[in-house]
Amino acid sequence: MAYRVVFLGEGRVGKTSLIMKYVKNVFTEKQESTTEAQNFEQRVKVDDSFVPLDIWDTAGQERYHSLGPIYYREAKGAILVYDITDIDSFVKVKKWVKELHAMVGTNIAIAICGNKIDREREKVVDLSEAEAYAASVGATHFTTSAKTGKGVQEAFTYVAREIKKRDKTGRNFSAGSGTGLKVGTRDEPKPSGSGCPC
C-alpha cells in the first residue's frame, strides 16, 4: 500500500507542473488549473529500496480550500508549494501548515518548495526567511522549477526518505523496479458559487 502525499498551495503556483515534471518529465507552459483531485502512484528510490507514494494533486483556488481535509486526512507526507514571485502565496503556505498539523499531527513529512526559480529576477520572497520558516515547523525548504527540473527530484526524494524513516509498521520496502506509475482521477465535490476555475 502506498503512502499518501498531498500537494498543497494556492492556485497557479505550479503544483501540477511539479508533479508532471517528476512523474512524466514534461512541462506545459499553459498548464490548466486543477479543478478535480488527481492522484499518481509512483515508487521513489531511496538508497537501495523504493518507497511507494500515492501523490495527490489538489485544487488550490480559495473556493476549493474547504475540500483540502478530504484529501490530506490520511497523508504521511506533504509538499507545500509557493511562487517565489508572489509573496501572498508564501504567506498562505503558513496557513496550510497549521491546518495540516491540526488535522494529521506534526509527524508528517513536509517539504516546502519555492517554485519558479527560473524567474529568479522577479523573486519577492526572501530565501533565508523561507528556509528559516521551514526549519521552524520541522520541514525542509527546496527551490524548484517545474520548467527546468531544478530541485524537483530532491524534494520528492526527501519526502519519501522522511516517510520511510518515520514509518513504524516494520514494513519491507521493495528493492524492485521503480518505474511503475498508475494515474487516477477523483471528482472533487463542487464548491458553492460559480465562475471560472482559473
pLDDT digits (tens, 9 = 90+) for 180-195: 444 444 333 333 333 3
CATH, residue 144: 3.40.50.300
Domains in the chain, number: 1
User: For residue 170, what pLDDT is reported?
Assistant: 61
Q: Bigger pLDDT: 153 or 66?
A: 153
Q: Note whether residue 112 is domain-resident.
A: yes
- 23-66 per-position pLDDT tens digit: 999 987 765 554 466 889 999 999 989 999 999 987 644 444 55
Which three cell numbers, joined as nine digits, stand for 18? 511539479
Nearest by Cα to 7 from 96, 92, 88 = 96
Whether 129 is in a domain gets the answer yes
pTM (whole model) above 0.75? yes
pLDDT band at 12 (very low <50, low <70, confident <90, very high): confident
The verdict on residue 113 lying in a domain is yes
In a domain, 194, yes or no: no
Residue 114 inside a domain? The answer is yes
| Confidence (pLDDT) at 66 | 54
Considering the domain boundaries, does residue 183 fall inside one? no
- Domain range enclosing 146: 3-174
Asked if residue 191 is part of any domain, the answer here is no
Q: What is the CA radius of gyration of the chain?
A: 16
Pick from 61, 30, 62, 25: which is nearest to 40 by CA?
A: 25
Could you tell me which of 71, 160, 86 has the C-alpha nearest to residue 124? 86
Which residues, 6 or more positions from 146, have their beta carbon under 8 angstroms from its beta carbon?
A: 14, 17, 18, 20, 21, 27, 115, 116, 152
Whether residue 31 contacts residue 16, with contact meaning beta carbons closer than 8 Å, is answered with yes
Kindly indicate the confidence band of residue 73, based on its pLDDT and cuts at 50, 70 and 90: confident
